[in-house]
Amino acid sequence: MVVFAGQGDARRTMALLWRTEGPGDARPGPKPGLSVDVIVDAAIAVADAEGMAALSMRAVGERLGRTAMALYTYVPSKSELVDLMYDRTLAELPAGYDPRAGWRAGVTSWAEHAWAFYLRHPWVLQVSQVRPVLGPNEYVMLETVVGVLRETGLEAGALRRIVGTLFYFVRGAAQTVAESRQAAAATGVSDEQWWQARAALLGEVAPDFAERFPMVAWLESGATSPPEDESVPYLEREARKTFEAGLAVLLDGIEATVDRAGA
């Protein structure tokens, strides 16, 4: 399921994101009044617990003990709500890292925080990056990463592509784990069960697999490793190793780029 940001009224959405218009303040009454923040927090709780497919104005209203109609005074529709949810969750990410530790340590810390963030809120990965939300916290995240990498001394054009690559990499790596968890929940079949069943059948239907695909067979021969924590599903363990190795390669590549540029 892919959700595209920016599908609501542009002016109203931007005003809500940047808090330049109401109603956003709590209103007096026999019950605590609603506000944009209260509604957005409830929507995030729905998406965290039940996924993006379960998100609706009605579901959010029920969580707050209100009707869906009571929410529309604050948030015009689900389209604007998704934008607000996305930007609000990004506020969880740190807004800065100690420059004394160096840019490599800063990028590593940011990547680790982003990885954990995506797995706390897997629905965020369903919000397409094709059309950004353009909210304040989205810009804080970008400002933070650029601020860390600015220490490399690279010029803006090169740094722009590096930042984009880092975002694609971390998001993609986390998505593998998020989808693995969703697959197990949706199908009732664990990663281990799925792979064991098909690996055995592959040997039956393709007994000459190693001869037909020697490079793949060679690659798989290096997959042996010491005993691991079996409480973590197989695909999650592999995704985590790939994340760590890939991040190291990217950081080495940035260092090489810095050396070539004489920065």
* 107-111, 177-181, 197-201: range with lowest mean pLDDT: 197-201
Give the pLDDT of residue 256. Answer: 97
The answer on pLDDT for 205 being more than 70 is yes
Give the pLDDT of residue 191. Answer: 86
Confidence of residue 29 (pLDDT cuts 50, 70, 90): very low
Separation of alpha carbons 82 and 87, rounded Å: 9
Query: Is there a contact between 262 and 156 (Cβ–Cβ < 8 Å)?
Result: no
17-22 CB contacts, 8 Å cutoff, 24+ apart: 17/83, 17/84, 17/87, 17/133, 17/134, 17/135, 17/136, 18/135, 18/136
CA distances in angstroms from 190 to 144, 221, 235, listed in the order given: 37, 24, 10
Q: Any idea which residue has 């390669």 for tokens?
A: 249
Token pair recorded at residue 113: 């925080």
Q: What is the value of pTM for the model shown? A: 0.91
The answer on pLDDT for 24 being more than 90 is no
Of 234 and 47, which is predicted with more confidence? 47
Query: Is there a contact between 241 and 146 (Cβ–Cβ < 8 Å)?
Result: no
Token pair recorded at residue 84: 């607000």
Burial annotation 236-248 (CB, 10 A radius, 16+ → b, else e): bbbbeeebeeebe
Give the dihedral sign, CA 189/192/194/197.
Answer: negative
Q: Report the mean per-residue pLDDT for the chain.
A: 92
Put residue 232 in one of left, alpha, beta given phi > 0 → left and psi -120 to 50 → alpha: beta
The answer on pLDDT for 85 being more than 60 is yes
Q: What is the mean pLDDT of residues 50-73?
A: 97
Q: What is the mean pLDDT of residues 111-132?
A: 97
Q: What is the mean pLDDT of residues 59-76?
A: 97
The answer on pLDDT for 30 being more than 50 is no
SS3 state at 141: helix
Separation of alpha carbons 176 and 2, rounded Å: 15
Give the pLDDT of residue 224. Answer: 60
The answer on pLDDT for 226 being more than 90 is no
pLDDT digits (tens, 9 = 90+) for 125-178: 999 999 999 999 999 999 999 999 999 999 999 999 999 999 999 999 999 999
HSE-up of 145 (CA within 13 Å, CB side)? 23
